[in-house]
Amino acid sequence: MEIPISGFLVHSDDPNGEHSHMLFLTSWDGRPVHSHCFAGATSYDYGHSHEYAGLTAPAPSGVPHVHEYQAETTFNDGHIHFIRGTTGGAIPISGGGHYHYFEGFTTVNGSHPHSHAYQGHTGNEVT
């Protein structure tokens, strides 16, 4: 099954010689797409916690959907962690729009290897 998508590609050369492209979708199967901002703090473990913030991957508007997300935490206690996952389904907001719940565990890191739990909900949709 083929699903038509449209968007634009951004080319980037970083000073370290890394070459990359980012694809920004603007429609999926003829429908506009949207994303959500998300932010929060991890659980407090091993004497510290971390904060994180990001923007979900785009998903089609007006149909049941979820979003992929990923972020790098703040540098605390000499290390960072990564979070990655898939949100739950859309939860309607009275007056329009919706948000998504997410939860999980960070990657393992630190001088005493450990992970942190996190949970939260996205903000309302952004285009």
pLDDT in tens, 29-84: 566 689 999 999 999 999 999 999 999 999 888 888 999 999 999 999 999 999 99
Pick the more confident residue, 10 or 2: 2
Which residues are paired to 22 by β-bridges? 10
Q: What is the pLDDT of residue 75?
A: 97
The two three-digit tokens of residue 110, written as one number: 């630190």
Q: What is the pLDDT of residue 16?
A: 65
**Distance in angstroms (rounded) separating the CA atoms of residues 4 and 107:** 34
